[in-house]
Amino acid sequence: MPSPAGHLLAGVAIAWAAEAAASARGRRGGPPTDGAKPRQFTPLVLACAALALAPDLDILLATHRTVTHSLGAVLVTAVASGALARALGSPAIATGALCAATVASHIVLDWLGRDSNTPRGVMALWPLSTAYFYSGVDLFAEVSRRYWKPDEFILRNALSVAREVLFNRRPVAPPCLLIASGETTTKIEGEAGLGGPSQELALSFALEISELTGVCGLALDTDGTDGPTNIAGGIVDTLTVARAHEKGLDGHEYLKRHDSLSFLQALGDVVVTGNTGTNVCDLNLVYIA
Burial class (CB in 10 A: 0-12, 13-18, 19+), 156: buried
- What's the pLDDT at 149? 44
> Residue 231 pLDDT > 80, yes or no?
yes
> Residue 150 pLDDT > 50, yes or no?
no
Angle between helices 71-87 and 92-112 (to 10 degrees): 150
> Looking at residue 140, what DSSP letter applies?
B
Nearest to 4 by CA among 218, 160, 187: 160
Q: Which is it for the CA torsion 42, 45, 49, 50, positive or negative?
A: positive
pLDDT class of 180 with cuts at 50, 70, 90: confident
pLDDT tens for 96-135 read: 999 999 999 999 999 998 887 778 899 999 999 999 999 9
Contacting residues for 167 by C-beta, under 8 A, at least 6 apart:
none
- 151-288 architecture in CATH? 3-Layer(aba) Sandwich (3.40)
More confident residue, 141 or 138: 138
Distance CA 80, CA 247 (A): 60
231, amino acid identity:
I
Nearest to 265 by CA among 287, 244, 242: 244
Backbone angles phi, psi at 278, to 5 degrees: -140, 155
Nearest to 225 by CA among 170, 270, 272, 181: 272
pLDDT tens for 58-96 read: 877 767 789 999 999 999 999 999 999 999 999 999 999
Query: What residues does each domain of the chain span?
Result: 4-112, 151-288
Distance CA 210, CA 8 (A): 28
Nearest to 235 by CA among 264, 258, 194: 264
Distance CA 239, CA 228 (A): 27
Mean pLDDT, the chain, rounded, equals: 87
pLDDT tens for 17-43 read: 998 888 887 666 555 545 555 567 788
Prior bond of 175 cis (ω within 30°): yes
Q: Provide the 3-class DSSP secondary structure of residue 219.
A: strand
